Amino acid sequence: MSTVNRSPTNGNLSLPATIAFAAISLPLAALGISVGVQLPPYFASQLGVSLAVVGNAFFLVRLLDIWLDPVIGLGMDRTRTRFGRYKVWMVAGAPLLIAAVYMLYNAPEGTTLVYLVIWLLAMYLGQSIMGLSHSAWAAVLAKSYEQRSRIFGVLTAVGVVGSLTALAIPILLEQVGVKDINPMQAIGWFVIAMIPITLLIAVIPTPETISKDDGGHFTLADYAKLFSRGNVIRILAADLFITLGPGWMAALYMFFFTNSREFTPTGASLLLMVYIVAGFVGAPLTAALANRISKHRALILTTTLYSIGLVLLLFLPKGNFAWFVPAMAIEGALAAGFGVMTRAITADIGDELRLEGGREQIGLLYALTAATSKLAGAFSIGLTFNVLAWIGYDAKAGATNTPGQILGLELAYIVGPIVFVMLAGACFIGYKLDATAHAEIRRQLDERDGHTDVVYDEAAVLEGLTGEPGGHSTIDRR
């Protein structure tokens, strides 16, 4: 390893290096959209698993899984190796995730509740390890208020490409007339192939810093204090609501657009692709907006506009692409900014906590926000599928539902998400940690650190991405 001297102001990754670091977002986002939108209906309509079993499996696994995230975050905060911290965890999570994806996307017909619970739990655990380490690593790579908006905007944009690919695979197979390949299995194999490839692209060239004051041991009491912090409560509540709204919609998306809006499955998938593609523009635009009006105000504005757009969907002509394409593009662009803002705000709050407590707790902080997201995911699939079962909605392919059942589907799709998304924005009314306040926090951290972060990197590869010279193998601990 080579010595790389990086001040907090000039040690930022170049755009090519940032894109390389963001590469792992591609398979993680592809898996996320597929599990949220494609996998539950696939189990119910193609593998003959009842709606109640599918909903209960996802609900149970999420309730079990959310308790693992704080443990993972605690482990990350305590990890200190010569290879760095987050890259070790990211590499460790890959084999588990690959195995779980294989078992889920090649599940047999009549899959049991036990089978789903086991492999969904394994999948979410591997996804958590890789996702948490990626977000925490990004937070320490980008130190300033503005840089964090940009880096999480890039991560989101790369994730859009992965989500789009997962949605495009079934459509492409249908268009070329391939009938002997199961589309869901093809998506699974795509994710499996891309995990090791993008992992190498992301891990090898990217440096990792460990601040000199974030070592040591932490007690549960230290972490319990996080819940006494107003800003921590804000971000956890906002993340819960901001995930529950779109997650609720994702679970019902295919049912809503085929049975209520009268699109074919292919047409519904194309509209979802429009929604996802728009995020490629929406994420960086939201980041730019946040740097003008502040992150929390950008979140309040985008959640409000998103909710208005949801209402308008019910008034558009059914089955009309000309009307739905721009509407879905606007909604997708707005939704893409949600994650950019919450992840960037989480990093800022992490700096506030480190200044006051003298310890790096960003791993646990991201773990807690991930736990709230998973709790939202449990309710979004578990509640919506059980609601559909309660009103008698028939999810089987070719089934006919009554107008009352369709109305129940429409209400479930629209009303709940609007309430939750608006609550997410409301969480930041009165929020004070804006760019000016964060700049003062960073000034004090930099003064205390004396620009002495421990830097781990592979200089030979990094040189090609950032133009910085390499050197002899050392670790800078000045």
pLDDT, tens only, 340-374:
899 889 989 988 988 887 777 777 788 788 778 77
Residue 5 lies in a domain: no
Considering only CA atoms, give the Rg of the chain: 22
Taking Cα atoms as reference points, which of 134, 148, 44, 38 lies closest to residue 91?
A: 134
Instruction: Indicate whether 386 belongs to any domain.
Output: yes
For residue 210, the cross-strand partners are 454
pLDDT on residue 260: 87
For 441, the token pair is 């926090």
Examine residue 383 and state whether it is found in any structural domain, yes or no.
Answer: yes
**Structural element, H or E, at residue 332:** helix 321-357
More confident residue, 421 or 471: 421
Indicate the pLDDT class of residue 471, thresholds 50, 70 and 90.
very low
Give residue 25's pLDDT: 93
Count of CB atoms situated within 10 Å of the CB of 319:
13
Longest dimension (CA), the chain: 72
Question: Is 90 exceeded by the pLDDT of residue 193?
Answer: yes
| CA atoms within 13 A of residue 441's CA, in its CB half-sphere | 22
Residue located via tokens 């699939």: 381
Distance from C-alpha of 428 to C-alpha of 419, rounded to nearest angstrom: 15
55: domain CATH number is: 1.20.1250.20
User: Where does residue 471 rank: exposed (0-12), middle (13-18), buried (19+ CB within 10 A)?
Assistant: middle
Q: Are strands 454-456 and 208-210 parallel, antiparallel or unpaired?
A: antiparallel
Q: Which helix (H) or strand (E) holds 372?
A: helix 362-390
- What is the rounded CA–CA span in Å between residue 70 and residue 236? 13
Is 1 within a domain?
no
**Angstrom distance (rounded) from CA 289 to CA 283:** 10
pLDDT range class, residue 237, cuts 50, 70, 90? very high
The type of residue at 151 is I
Helix axis angle, 362-390 to 113-141, nearest 10°: 140
**Residue 477 belongs to some domain of the structure:** no
* Cβ contact 387:410 at 8 Å: no
CA distances from 311 to 6, 133, 208, 411, 419 (A): 49, 37, 44, 11, 12
C-alpha closest to that of 218 among 365, 349, 64: 365
pLDDT digits (tens, 9 = 90+) for 74-123: 788 777 777 778 888 999 999 999 999 999 998 888 788 889 889 999 99
pLDDT (tens digit, 9 = 90+) per residue, 161-176? 998 899 889 888 888 8
Strand partners, 209: 455
Is the pLDDT reported for residue 462 higher than 60? Answer: no
Domain-located, residue 6: no
Residue 464 tokens read as 């090609």
The confidence score (pLDDT) of residue 466 equals: 36
Please count the structural domains in the chain.
Answer: 1
At residue 373, φ and ψ (nearest 5 deg) are -65, -40
Distance spanning both ends of the chain, measured CA to CA: 16
Torsion of CA 141, 147, 150, 154, to 10 degrees: -10
- Distance between CA 69 and CA 214 in Å, rounded? 20
pLDDT for 460 beyond 70: no
How confident is the model over 122-160, as pLDDT tens digits?
Answer: 998 999 899 888 988 888 888 787 888 888 888 888 988
Query: Which domain, by its residues, includes 207?
Result: 15-466
* Residues in the chain, total: 478
- Cα torsion angle, 367, 370, 372, 378, sign: negative
Residue 8: inside a domain: no
Are residues 234 and 431 in contact, defined by beta-carbon separation less than 8 angstroms?
yes
Alpha helices (H) along 176-320: 183-203, 220-224, 230-255, 265-293, 295-313
**How high is the pLDDT of residue 381?**
67
Give the residue from 324, 280, 306 showing the smallest Cα distance to 421.
306
Helix (H, G, I), strand (E, B) or coil at 365: helix
pLDDT value at position 72? Answer: 83
- The DSSP symbol for 359 reads S
Count of CB atoms within 10 A of residue 365's CB?
27
pTM (2 decimals)? 0.68
Residue 417 counted as domain residue: yes
